[in-house]
Structure 1
């Protein structure tokens, strides 16, 4: 017989699912045989059900029939058109400031390197010591190339970086502050407008990593005065493994910052094949080589869903899912010594909840074998990544109860 507490949690989840205005979108995603709960949408979003046919049609028609003519007919403009759409749907960014191009790492390097050298009188780059490795590694590399000094923020690991943390380190020496909007570990949601404002008060540029917030947390890059931002498209935008990232560059910085990878796609006249490089004066200046057209296909269907639902509705369901996960944690995991490693307040949290226990590496291995797919993060954290359009409340409770059962069994 089902435990009364389990039944209570599952009944609550069913009630929330029945009232969910976005519940119809659950059927838009492809089935994964053998998977009972997919709780890793913050690492790799599920594919939409119609992706195989869309990819096949692309091969048959756009590529297979139109051949190279498709460059002139549609592909040349795709990086900018898709960037504008991401900006409109998810970023609060006006047209002409967002472009889809390279990997996240390459785009972070381009923008970070350009911003670091914008004002030669400024000698420091501020970044969080616990930021995602790519961000930190790139900051170290840019500092080595440019002679900048790194200033490392060490905030509370659960609450994340605050306005006060940044205000304490920025000065007339600061060239750039580079932070994540949502902490990849705890899910802490940074105060983007507040931190951007205090950075600007010091005369520095502000750059945001949006990888864990784009598509799940509303933002207003234009209104909040953000200078630069980069985000991936394979998490909450469901673009598929290795789908290209996007970069945002505030319009006032076009032609002012100069990115370091000067390829033919960012030239003012792309087909002039001239003897010297003259950069484009618009957002195309952030491109370098030929864009990955095939990898830009899958995310377009997810943008349709987000736009039709509105990013605010997506955020409302995200809060509901993560609140439910925290409630279930309190009921069945806290008594087993599991630690909550995310903020309790949904307003201070992004789209995932992290919990910690010394046995979680082995627990994750067991869960994966049983079709429960959360995400393990060193040293002992499980992230419950709850992508709102593809994850139900019942799926969320199923995953939390499976973590409990694995811990109690000790069979891992």
Structure 2
């Protein structure tokens, strides 16, 4: 693809100076000429080459070799062990507070339902109108199920919820607040510590959706006194299509909250086949059915890779990539009437930016045919998702320049 020389020189100089540039070679398809620009890692991350070996080995040696003995030889404890690694590497969580299993939707339901049950004298749940549909839909269902009222927060089109915007809807009736750490549309990065403290002042519980931040934004869930969190693993954790989600429950809440889906593996003695349910102590009490062992394999490679690179370095690359995308927006998209619908300040951005134009729905389909793959979001936004360890600056240029060419 041809670019103006100055733009191409700038992208290549950024790649040459990038201390994480070498990690790109560890991903399958990163050098595929049929896909010159993949800007959708915020929806589905590329697979790692190491995952080919891991999955093959698991099937032949563990599943195929050990068969049902695998459950006794480590599979049953795998959700907690991976959860502990996730907590150590990127969540800022001490062991015993995170677990893997279920989908994001199911985990949201389980933790939100447990939270409102723990505040029986309160009747309201707070969420913003721009939150991801799953979060809004789950809470609509819980509100109807429990006779509760949803209190809605309106957010700026290019921003997100702040402690100040939350204040008018918080009060003695608030049982639970559910927000996203990074807004799925605008990419706005919320102040987790400040908002959590404000929610606690109102006597409510706080749940954070980490789907668009886990793996690209360093967190300190313990230090921030976060109550509950959920997140998916197929975006920046590269777990593959439909890979299971994760849940975080702060240690002191684990014996207070009672999750509603009482499956046998969340019971105190699963193989006792007891007559009635008694929850297992600790984080295992928030599991339900059989762990998705095969679905957990790929994310292990990405957790190891992020641990090797360091979350601080990953965040620095993320800020550099989104900053460069904004730089390209100013240079070649803004003159074409495109709107930037994300924060300009790096400290308030996750790892994607959104640009809007009425022509983007049809344009996105044409881009995909050319192997330029960003993400379309209604009503007319393109999300430019930038996965730090697999995305190059020249790849960002290829994608943004293709958008401009289609508009021009």
The alpha-carbon deviation at position 53 of structure 1 amounts to 2.4
Check if 1:23 corresponds to 2:21: yes
Q: Which residue matches 2:221? A: 221
Q: Using the alignment, how far apart are the partners of 1:157 and 1:266 within structure 2?
A: 41
Local SS of the residue matching 2:169: coil
Q: Which residue matches 1:122? A: 122
The alpha-carbon deviation at position 57 of structure 1 amounts to 1.1
Deviations 1:273-328 (A, max 9, x none): 11000001110011100010000000111111100111111000000000000000
Gaps of 5+ in 1: none
Give the paired residue count.
406
The alpha-carbon deviation at position 33 of structure 1 amounts to 5.4
Q: Which residue matches 2:75? A: 75
The alpha-carbon deviation at position 73 of structure 1 amounts to 0.8
Local SS of the residue matching 2:358: coil
Q: Which residue matches 1:356? A: 356
Q: Which residue matches 2:195? A: 195
Q: Which residue matches 1:91? A: 91
Q: Which residue matches 2:344? A: 344
Local SS of the residue matching 1:13: helix
Q: Using the alignment, how far apart are the partners of 1:100 and 1:138 within structure 2?
A: 20
The alpha-carbon deviation at position 97 of structure 1 amounts to 0.2
Structure 1 residues 243-282: aligned runs within 5 Å: 243-282=243-282
The alpha-carbon deviation at position 143 of structure 1 amounts to 0.4
Q: Which residue matches 2:168? A: 168
Structure 1 residues 365-404: aligned runs within 5 Å: 365-404=365-404
Local SS of the residue matching 1:379: coil
The alpha-carbon deviation at position 2 of structure 1 amounts to 5.7
Q: Which residue matches 2:113? A: 113
The alpha-carbon deviation at position 166 of structure 1 amounts to 1.2
Local SS of the residue matching 1:361: helix
Q: Using the alignment, how far apart are the partners of 1:2 and 1:119 within structure 2?
A: 60
Please provide the CA RMSD for this pair: 1.0
Local SS of the residue matching 2:83: helix
Gaps of 5+ in 2: none
Q: Which residue matches 1:62? A: 62
The alpha-carbon deviation at position 50 of structure 1 amounts to 2.5
Q: Which residue matches 1:292? A: 292
Q: Which residue matches 1:14? A: 12
Deviations 1:316-356 (A, max 9, x none): 00000000000000000000000001000110000001000
Structure-1-length-normalised TM-score:
0.97
Q: Using the alignment, how far apart are the partners of 1:171 and 1:360 within structure 2?
A: 41
Q: Using the alignment, how far apart are the partners of 1:51 and 1:309 within structure 2?
A: 17
